Structure 1
Amino acid sequence: MKLAVVGGGSTYTPELIDGFARLRDTLPLAEIVLIDPDAERLRLVGGLARRILARQGHDALVTTTADLEAGAEGADAVLVQLRVGGQAARDEDETWPLECGCVGQETTGAGGLAKALRTVPLVLSIAERVRRVSPDAWIIDFTNPVGIVTRALLEAGHKAVGLCNVAIHLQRKFAALLEVAPDEVHLDHYGLNHLTWELGVRLGGPGGEDALPRLISAHGPRIAEDLRLPPAVLERLGVVPSYYLRYYYAHDEVVDELRTKPSRAAEVAAMEKRLLEMYADPALDEKPELLARRGGAFYSEAAVELAAPLLGSGKGPGGDAPVRVVNTYNNGTLPFLPDDAVVEVPARITPGGARPLPAPAIDPLHAGLIAHVTAYERLALDAALRGGRERVFKALLAHPLVGQYAQAEALTDLLLAHNREHLAWA
C-alpha cells in the first residue's frame, strides 16, 4: 500500500510514522510519501521518518517531494494535515477576536471561521489534483476545522472521511481509569467536530454495559480537572463533554484567561523550533518526548485505525467492520439535523466508506447547540466557497460564541484585515 501525507513537513509527522511502524500488521505500508512545499522541513522530517522506521525494522520506502501530483500518483490514501499561514496565522486567529470580547481559538468562533476561509479552497484544490492522478484514493482529512473541511470535500464528490483525535484520546483515558484494554471501550460519542459529548462508555463494544455513571461517580473530579470544568458540571450533565465545550460553558472566563497569557500558537511555535532542531540530529531515531506536548495525542493510532479498514486491511472482532469515530454525512443519524450535515459519530468503516451507528436520544440541552453550530457551519462553508464580506458577517452573526450584530460587524472587519493575503476575493 502507498500512503501520501500532504503537509508531510509538519512536526506532527514523526508521531504518524511511529504509529505506522508500531502498527504495521494492521496497516502494511510499502511506501510513504511526504509532500510539502518547505524543502528544509521535508529534509529534516523525512530523515527522522526513515530512522524511526529503520529502528523498528519497518522496510517501507519513505520519499519526499514538493510535487503533489507526483507524490499522490498511485496512492491508496492521502492524509491531509496542513495549516495555511502556519503558526503566525494561528496566532492572529487566537488574538484579534479578544478585541471584541470573544474567544480567540483556531477552530471555533471567529478564529475558526478565519481558518476555514483560508483552508477550504486550498484543500479542495489539492483534492481535485489528487483525484486526477489517483481517482480511487481515500482522502483522510485531519485539517481543522475538520467538520467544515470534510463537508466541503464530500459536497465536491470526493471519497473523504474526517478524523479528529478527541475521541481516541478520551477512549484511552477512560480505559486507563477503568483498568481495561482500550479496544474494550466503545464511546457513544455524538455531536460535531469539536462539539461532542460522551453519552455512554460501553464495555465490550456497542450495546455493552455503560460504565459512564461509575466513571463520573468514581473519577469525576479528575475528568473535570482535565476538561477545566467544575466537577458539578459533569454530575449535573451526566455525560462528559469534550474540552472544547469549555469555550461555550465558560466563555467569559476563558476570554479573561486568554487576555492575560501568551497564545497557544506562540507556545507551539517555540516547540516547533525546538523539535526541528532535534529532528536534525542524525542520532535521533524515535519521536522525542517533547512531541507529546505539541498536541495530537494518539493521532497515529487514530489514523491507522481509520486507514486500515478503508483500504481493506483492518477488521473488527469476529471479522466485522470495525467501529471508529469519524466525521461524515449525517444521513439521518441525528434526526434533528439535515442529512448533508457532517457529524462526528461512531461508524462502521469499510472500503465503501463510513456507515454511522444508530444514535441514542440526544438531550435537547446538547441538540440545540449542535443544531445552532451546524447552521453556522453551513454559512461558514458558503463564505469559504463564494467569498464576500456579507457572507462572512452572516456566518459570524450565526455563531453562538458571537451572535451580536455589533460584534459580528467588528469581527468581520478584523478577520478581513488579518487575512487579505490568504483570501483571493478580499
Structure 2
Amino acid sequence: MRRIGDKVTDIKIAYIGGGSMGWAWNLMSDLANEEQLSGTVRLYDIDKEAAARNEKIGNSLKNHPNAKSQWDYIAVDTLEEALKGADFVIISILPGTFDEMESDVHLPEKYGIYQSVGDTVGPGGHVRALRTIPMFVEFANAIKQWAPEAWVINYTNPMTLCVRTLYEAFPEIKAFGCCHEVFGTQELLKSALADIEGIQAGHRRDIKVNVIGINHFTWLDKATYEGRDLFPIYKKLSTNTMKQALKEPRKVTG
C-alpha cells in the first residue's frame, strides 16, 4: 500500500467468500466510485467458479465510463494466496446451505419459538454459531500466519460470535463487524421525520442514535435530530402503519 498525495494505491484486499453475489458486488461498486483508492482484490471462495465470475465482473468495471478508480480482481485457489501481504481482509460467507439457514429460522417455530432473526439469537442463532465458529477459528489462524497486520472486516452472522471468535483465536487481530441494520433504522427515522413533521434531514448520519444489544438483536434507547427526540415521531409512524394494515383486507393464498 502506497500513499501518493491524497491517494492510496496498491492496496491489497483479501476477500474470503469472494463468490458472493451480494456484499462482493456492493464492494466492487463502492471501490469503483472511490477515486482516492486503488489496488487489487483477491477473491477466495470454496466455490471457485463463483469467484471466477466475480473476477470478470470486477475487472469489467475498469472500463465503465463512470469508474473513478482502477481495481484488479483475481480469483485465487487458497486462503494463503488470498491473505499473503493483505492490507485488508473481508469475510463474507454463508455458513452452510440455504436449506440449513431455512431450518435455523423456521424449525423453532414448530415449538412455539419465533425469532426476530434466525441467524443470531435463539435456537437458530445457536445452531448457526455451531456451524460457523470452527470456520472462523480457521480464518483467524490463517490471518495470524499470512496477514497479521491486516484490518479485518466481517459481514458474516452471527456477527458478535464471529468477531469474538477471531479475537479468541488471535487476540492481536484488528477486526470489527459491519451491518447495515442501524443505517436502515436511521433512514427510516429520517423518512418519518420528513413525512410526519415535514422536516428534511440532510443525511441519515444527522439522525443520532444510541445503540445497545448485539447485531440483529439491536435496541435503540435514544434517537434525536438536532436535539429533538424522535421516539414520539416513530410512535406516530408505527401507529399509522398499524391502522393502515388493519384497513387493508388480508390476501389469502393457498
**TM-score, normalised relative to structure 2:** 0.77
Higher mean alpha-carbon deviation, 95-104 vs 63-72, is at: 95-104
Contact 1:127 1:139 in 2 (8 A): no
Within 5 A, what are the aligned runs for 1:34-73?
34-55=43-64, 56-57=66-67, 58-73=69-84
Shift, 1:120, TM fit: 0.7
Q: What is the count of residue pairs matched by the alignment?
A: 223
Instruction: List per-residue Cα deviations over 1:283-309 (Å, max 9, x = no partner).
Output: xxxxxxxxxxxxxxxxxxxxxxxxxxx
Indicate how the Cα distance of structure 1 residues 7 and 136 shifts in structure 2: closer, same or farther if over 3 A, else same. Answer: same
Q: 2 CA distance for matches of 1:5 and 1:160?
A: 14
Q: 1 CA distance for matches of 2:94 and 2:39?
A: 27
Q: Which has a greater percent of strand?
A: 2
SS at match of 1:136: coil
Contact 1:141 1:161 in 2 (8 A): yes
Residue 126 of structure 2 corresponds to residue 113 of structure 1: yes
Indicate how the Cα distance of structure 1 residues 72 and 93 shifts in structure 2: closer, same or farther if over 3 A, else same. Answer: same
Q: 2 CA distance for matches of 1:136 and 1:121?
A: 22
1:9 is matched with which residue?
A: 19
Q: 1 CA distance for matches of 2:100 and 2:211?
A: 31
Query: Aligned match of 2:182 in 164, 167, 173?
Result: 167
2:7 is matched with which residue?
A: none
Structure 2, unaligned runs of 5 or more? 1-10, 194-199, 247-251
2:86 is matched with which residue?
A: 75
Q: 1 CA distance for matches of 2:148 and 2:35?
A: 25
1:248 is matched with which residue?
A: none
Identity %, equivalent residues: 25
Shift, 1:106, TM fit: 2.8
Q: 2 CA distance for matches of 1:53 and 1:109?
A: 44
SS at match of 1:147: helix
Residue 147 of structure 2 corresponds to residue 138 of structure 1: no
Indicate how the Cα distance of structure 1 residues 20 and 185 shifts in structure 2: closer, same or farther if over 3 A, else same. Answer: farther
2:228 is matched with which residue?
A: 210
**TM-score, normalised relative to structure 1:** 0.48
Shift, 1:176, TM fit: 3.5
- Tell me the amino acid that sits aligned with residue 3 of structure 1: I
Q: Which has a greater percent of helix?
A: 1
**After the TM superposition, which segments of 4 or more aligned residues of structure 1 sit over 4 Å from their partners?**
222-225
Instruction: List per-residue Cα deviations over 1:384-425 (Å, max 9, x = no partner).
Output: xxxxxxxxxxxxxxxxxxxxxxxxxxxxxxxxxxxxxxxxxx
Task: With a CA cutoff of 8 Å and minimum separation of 6, indicate the structure with the bigger relative contact order.
Answer: 1
What's the Cα RMSD here?
2.6
Contact 1:34 1:42 in 2 (8 A): yes
Q: 2 CA distance for matches of 1:216 and 1:53?
A: 43
Within 5 A, what are the aligned runs for 1:81-230?
81-103=92-114, 105-156=118-169, 157=171, 158-178=173-193, 179-180=200-201, 181-203=203-225, 208-216=226-234, 218-221=236-239
Indicate how the Cα distance of structure 1 residues 2 and 210 shifts in structure 2: closer, same or farther if over 3 A, else same. Answer: farther
SS at match of 1:37: coil
